[in-house]
Amino acid sequence: MTFRLLLVVAATLCLYGVAQGKLQGVVYEPFSPRSTGICLDSGRVAKDLAAISKVADSIRLRSIATCSESTMAIMKFAKKNGMTVMLGLYISDSDEDNTSELKMLSTILKAYNGKVVAGVVVGDEVTSTSKITDKGVARFINRAKAMIKKLGMKIPVGTAETWNILEFSSDLNSTIAASDFLCMNMQPYWGGIPAQCAFPEDCTETGVFVDQKAAVIAMIHNMEVKICNTGWPTLGEECCGIGREGTLDGFQAVPNVGALDAFVSDVHGATKNSGRTYYIGDAFDAEWKRTHVPCEDCLGLSTEFGCGAKKKKDRECEVAYHFGLHTAEGKLKEIGIPE
């Protein structure tokens, strides 16, 4: 019996209540779809955390200051339930917001004496989302490290970037030199890669391929590489058609629950063998994005949901809202959580 078949059997048993494992970690963003405010109310955060605790041992946050009350609730819950939190400082072009992230880090470290904290990730795909330079990111990393050292703690600090930036870019020398580890973000769907076989000729499972890619980056930089955001969508457009640069053509990446189930099992199995840390993104479908950061990236996607609409206001992709292990309402999708 192959290792993957064992994982499928374990997942099936889990669905029928016989076996229940836990994932290493999930990405959680406590954001609301309401137009009047981005933060979820405390009751919904508590409900989300209860659901997460059943499927994962760690939570990764991209920002700790955007919804500071939620962050403190997450820390309190994690400590009470024996979980850890990977703290994320969202770095942008706003000096005020960046200062708020650093102040919030200080508050958390003092309140929890470094316990519960699995690490600190300074910046998330900053290279492609802001005007901050390589040296600018490195300065923020060093400020976080200095704060931790001053408090007499030993907590690793790194940064998160997409796999291709980490593998091929030569513009991150200062950032990498300042980091204790690297966080690799890799969503194979956006590369048009099928969920089951990244390389059909020998059927290397796509979840295994993600771990292999992290291993390549670790070898290039001689540094620990964690998988900090990977997953698979369950609804929306297929990817990719001709015109989307750097992707496989033929609409081979198809969103569905079965693909998510297989992908998560493969990631879990591969990292269990390699000893690598991983976080599945996201914990919940991201309905909040419709309001606050709507998906307008339709290039190379199929057209059955909205991409390709004649009117620009209707030209919105659906797939970006459906990468969750749970629905937006909090129901776990029909997947097995492997042991």
Whether residue 1 is predicted with pLDDT greater than 80 in this model: the reply is no
225 — pLDDT class (breaks 50, 70, 90): very high
pLDDT at residue 17 in the model: 35
Q: What is the mean pLDDT of residues 296-301?
A: 89
DSSP 1-39: --HHHHHHHHHHHHHTTS----EEEEE---B---TT-SB
pTM of the entire predicted model: 0.92
Q: Which residues pair with 325 in a beta bridge?
A: none
β-strand 225-230 against 84-89: which pairing, if any? unpaired
Which residues have a Cβ under 8 Å from the Cβ of 25 and sit 6 or more positions away?
Answer: 56, 57, 58, 59, 60, 84, 86, 118, 277, 278, 279, 280
Count CA atoms within 13 Å of residue 66 on its CB side.
19
Tracing tokens 């400020």 back to the chain, one arrives at: 143
| Residues in the chain, overall count | 339
Per-residue pLDDT tens over the stretch 162-207: 999 999 998 999 999 999 999 999 999 999 999 888 776 778 899 9
Q: Which of 108, 106, 28 is nearest to 75 (CA)?
A: 108
38 — pLDDT class (breaks 50, 70, 90): very high
Per-residue pLDDT tens over the stretch 52-61: 999 999 999 9
What does the alpha-carbon distance between residue 48 and residue 68 come to, in Å, rounded to a whole number? 16
Q: What is the mean pLDDT of residues 223-248?
A: 94
Write out the two tokens for 70.
């939620």
Which residues have a Cβ under 8 Å from the Cβ of 140 and sit 6 or more positions away?
Answer: 89, 91, 98, 102, 122, 123
% the chain with pLDDT above 70: 92
Q: What is the mean pLDDT of residues 118-144?
A: 93
313 — pLDDT class (breaks 50, 70, 90): low
Per-residue pLDDT tens over the stretch 78-89: 999 999 999 999
Write out the two tokens for 15.
């669905």
Which residues have a Cβ under 8 Å from the Cβ of 217 and sit 6 or more positions away?
Answer: 163, 166, 167, 182, 184, 225
Phi, psi dihedrals of residue 79, rounded to the nearest 5°: -60, -45
